[in-house]
Amino acid sequence: MARNFSTTIRYNKQHLLTVVVPSLRRNGMHYEVNIPGFPRFWLRWGALGRYELVKPLDITLPDELILAVSDAIEKIEQ
């Protein structure tokens, strides 16, 4: 896996530059996601077979945004 990568995702009919920084932790691989205009957040592969928000849990992000980032991570991991 690359140390970090940047990609463009499509969300709400816009193309957004996304920087993803993977890090291996004792409870699995976590992905720090940085998108201009959104708070920084972390994702990990969850028990339900999809990426889930790890922290911060007090923010609300649109599901479509998380799905777009998930698709980008899966594409890079292949």
Q: 44-65: per-residue pLDDT in tens?
A: 988 888 888 887 777 888 889 9
Tell me the pTM: 0.84
Instruction: For residue 43, give every residue at least 6 positions away whose Cβ sits within 8 Å of its Cβ, in sequence order, or none.
Output: 30, 31, 33, 51, 52, 53, 54, 66, 69, 70, 73
pLDDT of residue 43: 93
pLDDT of residue 56: 75
Residues of the chain with pLDDT under 70: 1-2
pLDDT of residue 32: 94
